Every structure is written in C-alpha cells, then in structure tokens.
Amino acid sequence: MRHRIFCFFSIAFTISYIAAATVEAASDTSTDRALPRATPPGVADRDGNRLSDGLEARLAALGRDEAVDVIVTFMTPDTPAAAARAVGPFAIHAEFSIVPGFAARMTAGQARSLARVQNVRRVEEDAAIHATDVNTNRDFGVERIQVAPSLGGLGLTGAGIGICVVDTGIFAEHEQFRHSLDDDSLDSGECRLASPGSVGLMLYPFILGQQQMQPGLTVSYSFAFNAEIVADVLGGRHDLGIVTEAVRHPELECEAWHQEPLCLVVPADFAGHGLGDLMGIGFISYSGGEDHAGALLRANFPDFRSMSHFPRQGFTNEVSMVLDAVARGLGFTVVSRVVLELSLIHI
C-alpha cells in the first residue's frame, strides 16, 4: 500500500533583517498630526539580571519593605513554596502550569532577592497591558484619510460602511482529504493529518473552518517532527502527512505542495551586518532551525561554512515561541515567512 506525503519547502529567496519587536514606520512628514505613541511595557531584561527593566525601574523608586505585584517564572518546574523558602513568605495570587511560575505580592527587597535565586528565570511586574491601534492607524494612513478635506484629507470616517472579506477556504474535494472519509460522503468521517508546527500555524485554522461548515467531519490534526510524521503515515496513524523536506521511501508518494521564503530575525537593537555580527549574538534554534538557517545564510553570504560556527543560545521544539527569545535579545533565528507573519499578528 502506498501512502501520500506532501512537502512544504522553505526556500532562501532573499535575506530579510527583521527586528523582533514593534517597528515604527520609517517615513514621516511634517504635515502628519502628532499622535500618541503606544509604549510597550518594560518586559525586556537588557542587563541580564533577571529583573525586567520595567520592574527594575519601579523598584528603584520603592523602599525595601514596600509591596509590589510581580510575576515570577522558573527555568524548570518549581513551586512558590520553594521561592518563599529562599526569600521569606509572601502573598500568592496565582500559580501557572504551562509556563512554570506564579503571581504574587511581595516586598521590593524580596523581588530583588528572588531574581538571584538559581532556578528563577525572571521577575517582572504584574501589570495590565493595553493593546491599541494608534500606531497602525498612523502607519497605514487611516488618520490622514479621516482628516477633513480642507486639511488635505478625505474626510472618511467609515460611518455607515460595511466591509466583507470573501475567503474561498480549503479545497475539500482534493483527493488527499478523502482517505478516511465515509465512502458515501466527502463531508463526513474522520480525517487525520500531521505537519510540523511551522506549517500547522497556517493550515490548521483553515481545517477548523472546513469542520465548522461540515458538522459530520471530524479532524485529528497532529503537530510533529518530520521523522515522526513519516513513521505515523507508514503505520496508518495518519492519512496525510505534510513535511518540510523530501522523503524517499518505496511505500510513500511524496509531492511538492508549497514553497515559502525564509526570513532572518534579529533583536530590535541589533546593528550588525555580517556573519561575524550574527556569530556575536548567537543562534536560537528549533526543530529544523539549523537547516533553515544554513540554507538562508549559504544563499546570501559567500563566506558561510557551517552553523557549527555559531554559538547556540537556546532551543525550543515549538517554532511559534522562538521569536520570543529573539525579542528578548537572546540571539537570532531563521523562520519561514508564514511563521513570522502569524507571530506578528499575535503580538
């Protein structure tokens, strides 16, 4: 029995230096109205002392025994009780399980001391964050459009206007989606798919949309590494596998499905230009990350030899999280364009 595998290739068309932080529009004119700029919270830790910059500034204005609300995260699973044994008792507001840590109210002195405890990754202020569209309104010209014609704008506010986005959705009749469906219907039964996380970020929402339209359809979507996907397709646990590299196996049919450019992502304050500068900040890796980075750097830097020359600053098996490490200034990475774009949407 022959099984089908789709290949999702990431290709190094061009090199793109993209800062993993909010970027203001570079162009500005004297006729633009002055707008308030959203200031991101000081969650960075530029001096590496495990106190977020925002909290550190707040602590500087507080006495040692004054109270402050903080969020504490651990490097490995731990408990608030262990933290209390190190710095003394404090009031716990909440414990976190997915990211090991907790929220609590403690004294400024305890917060400083806790940042020096061995298993503590970071101590930051527990504060509300407000998302606004102030910057995007300016960058996309919305503010200028809304200005009255007498002031050089169009005077359009959007009042009384409805906007609809037509999406053709996924091609449900494609033969690759038929394997586990009922013989009498293409719109019911179980469909079992698997892909790496970088592909699933793009594809899974479309699959869910199809399931919403077809109540009789059940979708089982797994995120896995290439080797696991191939093994599970061969073992009959998935009907369709999507991988990021070509597969050669006598029982598999592998066909190219999509190509996606690669993007080099660096910290917002990175000012370098060459391989030496990238080596200086190190590489944040993920499953398949070194292959992607090697492909992009080899296509753009003639003197590139091997990723083994780059210090490895960290690793995560969830590609959607790798940009967080870059945004915190811990190193650079290389991801496909779809991962970058979807991550920016969530930011």
Q: List helix spans (H) across 92-196.
A: 108-114, 134-139, 142-146
Distance CA 195, CA 230 (A): 10
Instruction: Report residue 67: phi and psi, to 5°.
Output: -85, 150
* Domain extent listing, the chain: 1-38+170-347, 53-125
pLDDT digits (tens, 9 = 90+) for 120-176: 999 999 987 766 666 666 666 667 777 777 777 777 777 777 777 666 666 655 555
pTM of the model: 0.42
CATH topology of domain 1-38+170-347: D-Maltodextrin-Binding Protein; domain 2 (3.40.190)
Stretch 206-220: mean pLDDT? 83
Confidence of residue 346 (pLDDT cuts 50, 70, 90): very low
pLDDT digits (tens, 9 = 90+) for 303-317: 898 998 999 999 987
- What is the pLDDT at residue 15? 40
Q: Is the pLDDT of residue 86 over 70?
A: yes
Distance CA 342, CA 328 (A): 18
**DSSP SS3 for 122:** strand
* Residues forming beta bridges with residue 11, ordered by sequence position: 261
Q: Is the pLDDT of residue 285 over 80?
A: yes
- What is the pLDDT at residue 277? 92
CATH topology of domain 53-125: Alpha-Beta Plaits (3.30.70)
Q: Is the pLDDT of residue 39 over 70?
A: no
**Sequence-ordered strand ranges (E) for the chain:** 3-11, 17-19, 67-74, 91-96, 101-107, 120-125, 189-195, 217-223, 240-243, 252-266, 283-286, 312-316, 333-336
Which whole-number Å values give the CA distances from 69 to 49, 50, 112, in the listed order? 18, 16, 13
Confidence of residue 274 (pLDDT cuts 50, 70, 90): confident
Lowest mean pLDDT across 133-147, 231-245, 279-293 = 133-147
Confidence of residue 38 (pLDDT cuts 50, 70, 90): very low
